[in-house]
Amino acid sequence: MARINLLPWREELRKQKQREFAFTLAGAAILGALLVFLAHMQVQGMIESQSARNRFLEEEIVKLDKRIAKIRDLESTKAKLLARMNVIQQLQSSRPLSVHLLDDIVRTLPEGVYLEKLAQEGNNLTFFGVAQSNARVSAYMRNIDGSVWLSKPTLDVIQTETEKRRRIAKFNLRAMQNPDPEPEQVAEVTP
């Protein structure tokens, strides 16, 4: 019987399979490394893209912050201008009030009553004056009470004194100014 040695063939087949396995393993490792490298590059690209977006958003936020600051400045300026306009409108609307007030003070002043001083705080008026008698002060208070632009007369002090052999009454009187009288009342008073 002939003897055939199969061991070298098997040995050679085993070595060939080991080489194929090593090549397959090396190929898989290279392919895996390549896939990891490509994934890393993809993720790195996404990170850089997001960083660029973040920088863009931060730049836009800075621009918008500047615009918001300008808008706030404009709103502040607008509020100041509106306040000034309101003050001017109030002054414009109250300008005729002082004329009416002084005119009404003169109209209500009876004969024999003289004002020495007039003080005003808001709508409150204080009259300091001299009258020939207490009755004339009472007449003045009645005239104020019947006035369109003046109301609520209150006598604070009245002192009777003798000056140059005549009796006089010095008085302090308070009244209120009516800033908005009824239109019918104003129409009745105007000549």
Neighbours of 150 (CB within 10 A): 23
**Any domain includes 6:** no
113-121 and 150-163 beta bridge pairing = unpaired
Q: Are residues 128 and 59 in the same domain?
A: no
Domain that holds residue 29: 12-96
User: For residue 112, what pLDDT is reported?
Assistant: 80
User: For residue 150, what pLDDT is reported?
Assistant: 75
Distances (CA, A) of 71 to 63, 77, 113, 121: 12, 10, 60, 39
Q: Among 143, 142, 129, 123, which residue's Cα sits nearest to residue 173?
A: 129
User: For residue 152, what pLDDT is reported?
Assistant: 81
**Any domain includes 3:** no
Q: Among 113, 98, 188, 91, which residue's Cα sits nearest to residue 148?
A: 188
Q: Are residues 78 and 120 in the same domain?
A: no
Q: What is the CATH number of the domain that holds 113?
A: 3.30.1360.100
Q: Are residues 17 and 86 in the same domain?
A: yes
Q: Are residues 150 and 171 in the same domain?
A: yes
Q: Among 148, 170, 151, 150, which residue's Cα sits nearest to residue 159?
A: 170
Read off the pLDDT of each residue in 164-185 and give the average, rounded to a whole number.
Answer: 72
pLDDT 10s digits, 39-68: 999 999 999 999 999 999 999 999 999 999
Q: How confident is the model at residue 2 (pLDDT cuts 50, 70, 90)?
A: low
**Any domain includes 101:** no
Q: Are residues 144 and 92 in the same domain?
A: no
**Any domain includes 1:** no
Distance CA 171, CA 175 (A): 13
**Any domain includes 18:** yes
DSSP code of 109? -
| Domain count for the chain | 2
Distance CA 152, CA 144 (A): 8
Q: Among 117, 138, 134, which residue's Cα sits nearest to residue 126?
A: 117
Contact 118, 129 (CB under 8 A): no
With H, G, I as helix, E, B as strand and everything else as coil, classify residue 81: helix
With H, G, I as helix, E, B as strand and everything else as coil, classify residue 2: coil
Q: Are residues 114 and 184 in the same domain?
A: yes
